[in-house]
């Protein structure tokens, strides 16, 4: 059924490229958004019922890809998040319908779909090299999306992104070759590798994991190879930034998780230390840069690095800490996507991404301001949001295992980040004494929220409400499902 989905997606993107009419293309994009939601629903349903999916998704199936691509429990976890985010991003691309040239908009829509297909491939690939192919494909497709605003800055960001990530991924290929050397086999399916792991050569396993950590860590935005991330996130259209931050970083993390899973326990313990170190460096780097960043989209990008750092710290510790990481993945994806969409609306209205020049949001555009405020509370782990429970579980783990040094380091760095974020975001929302007052803004003909913006904010609000809802009530089935992910690590 995956083949049918991929072929249909390619056909729709081709159709969009041919049609070149903004309204029609937007409707097609929306249609695709609904279509992939339906598909995800069927994937989840057939996974839990252990049956073949609905016959519609089997029309083009030749079963060639079935060996490489099928759904397992990790696929289910990540595809649900990615699918929801893609729907919201495609839905909130409405502001581009009016202003973008036909050629550019059709490119944008087509590559958005291709980007989703490649993300989807990474998530459901069950073979290391197939996964590698799709990871590279995500770089290429999102590289085109970053350069959609056609400015000097976005050009620079796209180049850096494409180049740094391609080299990182080339290095991860070296890691894959080393793993194949370790297992002494040429079949690189995760299922084939797992039983061999006890006999594998630990030296090559460790070296291979090191290279894969660098390669996929580059895509996941872990410091010290995060250089592309703030540039790409700040210069891409905000819907794309939402997908980059909420979906792409996760999929790269999934690559690291899958490789960790096939390692034997002694090697895994050493490799977890590498992951832990990268996580702490990410926290450190993001806290330093957030203190001096003067651009709110870059600020959000650094906050992504921070969250991915926390996620990798949790994953490296195992047990209940890994559980907290999965919760944080959900919460971060929903929140950050929503924040990026709101920041896009703010950029549309104020025509700037400088934090200093955006003031008085609450008076001027209250709906956007309150969504931004909710997003801020969620990203900082305010009680009753999902992220709060996630971070509390991480701290609980650190306390019960008496890792005091790590606890103090993480708490201190989070505190610095909290300070940097709140200073900037509070200024944007509340401060009246800025460069402009609300009345002046109207005089400067800065437009108020129109229907288009309201629709976008509504999408963002939906995501943040979901994060809040999951914090208030987290169904026990979800909990069991995530625990099953953790137990196989």
Partner 1 sequence: MIEVLLIIFSISLLALSLTTMVDSYVRNLIYQAIIIFFITLFNHEAKNLGTVIFILLETLIIKGILVPYILFRNIKENEIVREVQPNTPQYLSILLMSLILIFGFVITFWFNKHINNVNSMQFGISISTILAGLFLILVRKQLITHVIGYMVIENGTFLLSLTVIKNLPLLVALGISLDILMGILLAGILINHIKTEFNKEEGIDSLTSLKD
Binding status of residue 14 toward partner 1 by CB under 8 A:
no
Binding status of residue 196 toward partner 1 by CB under 8 A:
no
Q: Which two tokens stand for residue 149?
A: 């605003």
Q: Which residues in the 148-177 window bind partner 1 by CB under 8 A?
A: 152-153, 155-160, 162-163, 166-167, 170-171, 173-174, 177
CB of 155 to partner 1, least distance (A): 6
Q: Which residues in the 91-130 window bind partner 1 by CB under 8 A?
A: 127, 129-130
Binding status of residue 445 toward partner 1 by CB under 8 A:
no
Binding status of residue 287 toward partner 1 by CB under 8 A:
no
Residue 200, Cβ density class (10 Å: 0-12 exposed, 13-18 middle, ≥19 buried): buried
Binding status of residue 394 toward partner 1 by CB under 8 A:
no
One residue of 90, 106, 180, 331 binding partner 1 per CB under 8 A: 180
Q: Which residues in the 38-77 window bind partner 1 by CB under 8 A?
A: 64-65, 68
CB of 186 to partner 1, least distance (A): 5
CA 331 to chain centre: 11
Q: Measuring CA to CA, which residue among 176, 424, 398, 174 is closest to residue 280?
A: 398
Binding mask 470-489 for partner 1 (x = CB under 8 A): --------------------
Q: Measuring CA to CA, which residue among 104, 106, 136, 105 is closest to residue 119?
A: 136
CB of 228 to partner 1, least distance (A): 10
Q: Which residues in the 200-219 window bind partner 1 by CB under 8 A?
A: 201, 203-204
Binding status of residue 364 toward partner 1 by CB under 8 A:
no
Residue with tokens 């709906």: 367
- State the CB neighbour count (10 A cutoff) for residue 473: 8
CB of 60 to partner 1, least distance (A): 16
Could you give the CA distance from residue 26 to residue 34 in angstroms, rounded to a whole number?
12
Q: Please name the residues in contact with 124: beta carbons below 8 A apart, sequence gap of 6 or more.
A: 2, 69, 70, 71, 75, 79
Binding status of residue 199 toward partner 1 by CB under 8 A:
no
CB of 32 to partner 1, least distance (A): 21
Could you give the CA distance from residue 118 to residue 340 in angstroms, rounded to a whole number?
22
> With contact defined as beta carbons under 8 Å apart, do 278 and 312 qualify?
yes
> With contact defined as beta carbons under 8 Å apart, do 344 and 353 qualify?
no
Could you give the CA distance from residue 164 to residue 395 in angstroms, rounded to a whole number?
34
Q: Which is nearer to partner 1, 40 or 304 (CB)?
A: 304
Could you give the CA distance from residue 297 to residue 345 in angstroms, rounded to a whole number?
12
Q: Which is nearer to partner 1, 91 or 173 (CB)?
A: 173
Q: Which is nearer to partner 1, 133 or 196 (CB)?
A: 133
Q: Which residues in the 330-359 window bind partner 1 by CB under 8 A?
A: none
Backbone angles phi, psi at 125, to 5 degrees: -70, 135
Q: What are the CA-CA distances from residue 466 to residues 81, 385, 463 (Å)?
A: 11, 10, 5
Q: What are residue 393's DSSP bridge partners?
A: none
Binding status of residue 293 toward partner 1 by CB under 8 A:
yes
One residue of 33, 217, 221, 230 binding partner 1 per CB under 8 A: 230
> With contact defined as beta carbons under 8 Å apart, do 242 and 337 qualify?
yes
CB of 130 to partner 1, least distance (A): 6
Q: Which is nearer to partner 1, 137 or 455 (CB)?
A: 137
> With contact defined as beta carbons under 8 Å apart, do 146 and 158 qualify?
yes
One residue of 219, 258, 272, 298 binding partner 1 per CB under 8 A: 298
- Name the site residues for partner 1 (rule: CB under 8 A): 64-65, 68, 127, 129-130, 132-133, 136-137, 139-140, 143-144, 147, 152-153, 155-160, 162-163, 166-167, 170-171, 173-174, 177, 180-181, 184, 186, 188, 201, 203-204, 230-231, 234-235, 289, 292-295, 298
């Amino acid at each position: 059924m995956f083949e049918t989905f991929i072929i249909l997606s390619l056909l729709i993107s081709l159709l969009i490229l041919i049609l070149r009419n903004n309204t029609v293309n937007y409707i097609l994009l929306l249609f695709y958004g609904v279509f992939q939601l339906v598909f995800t629903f069927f994937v989840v349903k057939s996974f839990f019922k252990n049956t073949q999916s609905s016959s519609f998704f089997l029309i083009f199936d030749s079963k060639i890809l079935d060996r490489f691509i099928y759904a397992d429990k990790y696929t289910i976890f990540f595809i649900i998040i990615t699918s929801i985010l893609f729907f919201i991003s495609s839905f909130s691309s409405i502001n581009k319908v009016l202003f973008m040239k036909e050629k550019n908009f059709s490119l944008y829509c087509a590559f958005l779909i291709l980007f989703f297909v490649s993300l989807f491939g990474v998530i459901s690939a069950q073979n290391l090299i197939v996964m590698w192919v799709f990871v590279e494909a995500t770089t290429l497709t999102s590289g085109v999306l970053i350069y959609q605003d056609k400015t000097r800055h976005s050009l620079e960001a796209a180049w850096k992104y494409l180049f740094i990530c391609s080299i990182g991924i080339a290095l991860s290929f070296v890691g894959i070759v080393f793993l194949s050397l370790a297992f002494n086999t040429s079949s690189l399916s995760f299922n084939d590798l797992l039983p061999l792991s006890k006999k594998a050569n630990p030296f090559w396993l460790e070296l291979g994991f090191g290279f894969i950590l660098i390669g996929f860590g580059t895509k996941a935005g872990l410091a010290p190879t995060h250089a592309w991330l703030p540039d790409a996130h700040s210069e891409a259209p905000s819907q794309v930034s939402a997908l980059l931050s909420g979906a792409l970083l996760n999929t790269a993390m999934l690559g690291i998780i899958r490789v960790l899973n096939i390692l034997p326990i002694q090697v895994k313990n050493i490799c977890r230390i590498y992951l832990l170190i990268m996580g702490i460096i990410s926290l450190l780097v993001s806290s330093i840069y957030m203190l001096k960043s003067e651009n709110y989209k870059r600020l959000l990008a650094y906050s992504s690095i921070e969250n991915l750092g926390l996620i990798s710290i949790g994953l490296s510790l195992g047990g209940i800490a890994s559980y907290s990481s999965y919760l944080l993945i959900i919460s971060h994806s929903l929140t950050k996507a929503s924040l990026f969409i709101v920041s896009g609306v703010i950029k549309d209205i104020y025509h700037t991404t400088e934090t200093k020049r955006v003031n008085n949001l609450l008076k001027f555009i209250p709906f956007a301001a309150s969504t931004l405020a909710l997003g801020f509370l969620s990203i900082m782990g305010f009680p009753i949001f999902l992220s709060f429970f996630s971070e509390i579980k991480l701290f609980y783990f650190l306390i019960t295992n008496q890792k005091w040094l790590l606890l103090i380091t993480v708490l201190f760095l989070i505190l610095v980040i909290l300070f940097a974020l709140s200073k900037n975001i509070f200024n944007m929302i509340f401060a009246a004494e800025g460069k402009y007052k609300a009345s002046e803004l109207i005089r400067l003909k800065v437009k108020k929220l129109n229907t288009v913006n309201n629709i976008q904010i509504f999408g963002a609000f939906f995501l943040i409400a979901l994060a809040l809802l999951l914090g208030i009530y987290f169904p026990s089935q979800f909990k069991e499902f995530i625990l099953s992910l953790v137990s196989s690590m």
